[in-house]
Amino acid sequence: MIAAHDPRKVLEAHGLWTKKHFGQNFLIDPTVPPRIAAVGGAGPDDVIFEIGPGVGTLTHALAERAGRVVALEYDFELVPVCRKELADAGNVEVCCGNVLDVDWDAEAERAGRPLVIYGNVPYHLSTDIVTGLLDAPGAWRRACFLLQREFAVRAAAAPGDKQCSALSAAVALQCHATIAFELGAADFHPAPKVDSAVLVLER
């Protein structure tokens, strides 16, 4: 199996490349996925729902922490690759689909408990994904997203901050938002034109 922390080699081995129109930016720093998994707070009794596993870089770290991981990938070409990379993990289910079509309440019911949600989220979908979760407050207990830094700052802004917005007000009504840490463009392949941050939402 190809090392989980090197998506460039995984893509090359399968004759694939990143798709800009999907907003794909893969983590290439091997120290980052375990940090994201840790700050998300999932434990062995949790069911994790991961948005956009790609080639399974973060999924490996999540599988080591949780009882079960459901990973939803939009790019159908990456689904079999992700399944192959995670073949040794007995607690991961990789599915193909659009996160905007997810019924969060139904997923929580299927899991038998509120979900812990993770994702290296396409930046252009950040607002839709977060507001979708806010519309299903009973379906999850924590969410941990790798996002564009500007979006994360707005989502976590306190009342009175200059970054405060309708988004931060909606978030504050339902959960506590914190920025766990920030990442630079060099941590990704291909390198995005913006900085990124890990946003944690806790109900």
Please report, rounded to a whole number, the percentage of residues in the chain having pLDDT higher than 70.
Answer: 98
The terminus-to-terminus CA distance of the chain in angstroms comes to: 37
pTM: 0.94
User: Which CATH number do you get for residue 33?
Assistant: 3.40.50.150
- Determine what percent of the chain is predicted with pLDDT higher than 90: 89
Instruction: Specify if 48 maps to a domain.
Output: yes
Band of pLDDT at residue 5, cut at 50, 70 and 90: low
What's the mean per-residue pLDDT of the chain? Answer: 94
Phi, psi of 21 (to 5 degrees): -70, -15
Structure confidence at residue 4 as a pLDDT band (50, 70, 90): low
Name the 3-class secondary structure at 192. coil
ω into 190 cis (within 30 of 0): yes
In a domain, 2, yes or no: no
In a domain, residue 19? The reply is yes
Position 58 in a domain: yes
Is 165 among the domain residues? Answer: yes
Q: What is the pLDDT of residues 18-44, one digit of tens each?
A: 998 888 999 999 999 999 999 999 999
Q: What is the pLDDT of residues 114-146, one digit of tens each?
A: 999 999 988 899 999 999 999 999 999 999 999
Domain hosting residue 138, numbered range: 7-202
pLDDT tens for 138-186 read 999 999 999 999 999 999 998 888 889 999 999 999 999 999 999 999 9
CA gap 44, 190 in Å, rounded: 33
Tell me the C-alpha to C-alpha distance, in Å, between residue 154 and each of 100, 131, 140, 151. Answer: 21, 13, 21, 5
pLDDT for the residue numbered 112: 98
User: How many domains would you assign to the chain?
Assistant: 1
Look at residue 55 and tell me if it is in a domain.
yes
Here the tokens at position 104 are 């969060």
